[in-house]
Amino acid sequence: MTFYEVRNMRNLENNYGRATGGWSGRVLRKPLGLAVVCAALFMVTSCADKKTAEKGDMDAAERPNILLILADDLGYSDIGPFGGEIHTPNLEALASSGLTMTNFHVHTVCTPSRAMLLTGVNNHLSGIGTMAGEQRGAQIGAPGYESYLNKRVVTIASLLSGAGYETMISGKWDMGGRNDDAYLPNKRGFEKSFVLVEGSADHFRSFPALAELDKVHYKENGQSVELPDDFYSSDYYATKIIEQIGDRKEDERPFFAYLSFTAPHYPLQAPDEYIEKYAGVYEKGYDNIRLERMRKMKSAGIIAQNMEHTDPSDVWPDWDELSPEMRALEARRMQVYAGMVESMDTNIGRVINHLKAIDAYENTVIIFLSDNGADGGNPLDWGPQYYNWAETNFDLSLENTGRPNSYVWYGPQWGHVSSAPFRLFKGFATEGGTRSPTIIAHPGRIKPGKMSSEFATILDLPATILELSKVEHPGTTYKGRTVYPQEGKSLANFLYKNEKPVHGAEEVFVTEIFDRRSVRKGDWKILWSNPPWGEKGWELFNIAVDPGERNNLAKVNPEKAQELLNDWRDYSQRNGVITVDDYYMGWTNAMSHFKWLPPSMRESQEQNKNREK
């Protein structure tokens, strides 16, 4: 469908007035209809791509199974294939059997990424203009700001199910359904489902990870269920997806299985045997681990030999500035995180081994990615009452850190290590917030052991999955209702025939939430972050030569900055973006992280100070 064809379809939806942001403030623009909005979305040239599978290699095989594995808040350099010291043999084997993508981009936080992954539509149209409870001002009640996956999009699960696939999900949902069952996965195309409805929870029991929630909900095929006594999230989600896949028979349908881990999202927790493997590893501090990772990344060809690590913000103290008590706590936090990541890897191995045992492995496309960058934020940073909630409900002693009834996060400096070599982390539109460690494998079909720096985004995966499955997106109408068309481009020809580029130099990819925003166009990127992490106004970077975003070129090349600003304004107008001035995102600011110690450690610190006196 061409731009002009879409323009002529304005009557598909009632118009809504929305405030949209610009370079130096907010203006109210004339509202546009749904069909006009879809004319030039993130990837402007691919609004209504309906191509089925290309003639060639894929025609020789039956429709493949799809196993989509999503990690939660995993950093770019955490796993072995991307330079990490964390033991991840199953992901290393997956990378050896497929393609490692080093320039793959997602959204800055989990819920928008997950909406884009399931629909191929940007977060401002699919309902996740902001997160639940974070609506401000004109965002309240506005279309696109529902904070759940709205009905103006159709999921790939629905399309695959309708085309003969068996569809299943195990793990984190976070797309709605807490207050309305119509938004649970069993109503959005998944025939089998076991999910945590909310975005986070304790990993050993049914208990919320946020002070605002009184409970969390687990649903199996739409029905409430209780967790077993031996529950651990990664173990149980893998077990459930294995059960859902079952023992495939030759006459059974191909499957689409979505394994949606909550690891390594806070609260950081892991079985003891995984935590103990990393005892002492992180006592060397942030810089040593970061530089070790970068040496491995350079050796593997993931980053350029001359790339320097991007210094973290001086807002946060360095390792040698910490008290002995804080260093011990920080090392333990990262130790738990590493154990959590290895546990996830073990469970990925269980699922892949099951596919091999039932002779389904060779006809399964396996996609692994993270939903955003590492989480360097502090979930208690909203105020003292949040620390009081944690101290009241959990055992926060150093000895219990990472175990049942603990509440752990690892903070901005380890978050920056996990994002190496890039700047910042989850919640920011910097490269550290949006680059995902991504692996795609199809045994015997995709050339094994390859690495690519080709730019691609999470919006491309739904189009890819549909093309490989020989399923067409319906465009603007699905079962009698108006929906947005997909925006991404299929990676099929790139994956199987090495045809590139995937995206042309004029195509635009935008992220925005919590007022932090970016526009990527070819090698260029403009970025807006709140001070002290960004300058006042937009910054301009040439990512091809400066992926660390160290050299702001906005004053050197104002024409390019203005060009991308115009792209932002165009996107903002068409997609109904509502920005909020001076939005305070306390969790990602992590300003109180180094000012707090657990009660038992505070007592020990006071005793040491008294002895010194």
Determine, yes or no, domain membership for 473: no
The DSSP symbol for 334 reads H
Determine, yes or no, domain membership for 251: yes
Q: Phi and psi of 451, rounded to 5°?
A: -135, 140
Q: Which two tokens stand for residue 94?
A: 């997956």
Contact of 303 with 294, CB cutoff 8 Å: yes
What are the pLDDT digits (tens) for 384-432?
899 999 999 999 999 999 999 999 999 999 999 999 999 999 999 999 9
Residues 613 and 611: their CA atoms lie apart, in Å, by 5
Residue 285: count other Cβ atoms within 10 Å of its Cβ: 18
pLDDT tier, 160 (very low <50, low <70, confident <90, very high otherwise): very high
Long-range contacts of 567-570 (CB under 8 A, 24+ apart): 567/508, 567/510, 567/519, 567/521, 568/22, 568/23, 568/510, 568/517, 568/519, 568/526, 569/20, 569/22, 569/23, 570/40
Determine, yes or no, domain membership for 479: no
CATH number for the domain including 65?
A: 3.40.720.10
Helix H or strand E encompassing 169: strand 166-172
pLDDT at residue number 612: 65
What are the pLDDT digits (tens) for 526-551?
999 988 888 878 999 999 999 999 99
Average pLDDT over residues 289-300: 98
Pairing of strands 166-172, 255-260: parallel
Determine, yes or no, domain membership for 482: no
Determine, yes or no, domain membership for 359: yes
DSSP helix, strand, coil percent of the chain (3-state; round to 5): 35, 15, 50
| 3-class secondary-structure state, position 429 | coil
Q: Phi and psi of 389, rounded to 5°?
A: -60, -45
pLDDT at residue number 231: 99
What are the pLDDT digits (tens) for 468-493?
999 999 999 999 999 999 999 999 99
Range of the structural domain that residue 549 is part of: 3-277+288-465+489-612
Sorted by sequence, the CB contacts under 8 Å of residue 6 that are 6+ apart come out as: 35, 36, 38, 39, 47, 48
**Of 346 and 59, the one with more pLDDT:** 346
Using the predicted structure, report yes or no on whether residue 609 has a pLDDT greater than 80: no
Determine, yes or no, domain membership for 345: yes
pLDDT at residue number 312: 74
Q: Which two tokens stand for residue 322?
A: 């910490």
Contact of 198 with 174, CB cutoff 8 Å: yes
pLDDT at residue number 108: 98
| Length in residues, the chain | 613
**Of 21 and 520, the one with more pLDDT:** 520
Residues 177 and 175: their CA atoms lie apart, in Å, by 7
Determine, yes or no, domain membership for 518: yes
Q: Which two tokens stand for residue 78?
A: 């955490």
Q: Which two tokens stand for residue 247?
A: 């023992």
HEC string for 193-250: EEEECCCCECCCCCCECCCCCCCCCEEECCEECCCCCCCCHHHHHHHHHHHHHCCCCC
Sorted by sequence, the CB contacts under 8 Å of residue 604 that are 6+ apart come out as: 325
CA-wise closest residue to 58 among 394, 360, 493: 493
Contact of 157 with 190, CB cutoff 8 Å: yes
Q: Which two tokens stand for residue 209?
A: 């990870």
pLDDT at residue number 34: 47
Residues 528 and 584: their CA atoms lie apart, in Å, by 14
Using the predicted structure, report yes or no on whether residue 200 has a pLDDT greater than 90: yes
Residues 483 and 471: their CA atoms lie apart, in Å, by 17
Residues 37 and 18: their CA atoms lie apart, in Å, by 12
Burial of 214 from C-beta contacts in 10 A (0-12 / 13-18 / 19+): exposed
Residues 199 and 482: their CA atoms lie apart, in Å, by 28
| 3-class secondary-structure state, position 131 | coil
Determine, yes or no, domain membership for 474: no
Number of domains in the chain: 1
Residues 302 and 77: their CA atoms lie apart, in Å, by 10
pLDDT tier, 582 (very low <50, low <70, confident <90, very high otherwise): confident
pLDDT at residue number 55: 31
Using the predicted structure, report yes or no on whether residue 503 has a pLDDT greater than 90: yes
pLDDT at residue number 601: 83
Burial 384-413 (b: 16+ CB within 10 A, else e): eebbebbeeebebeeebbbbeebbbbbbbb
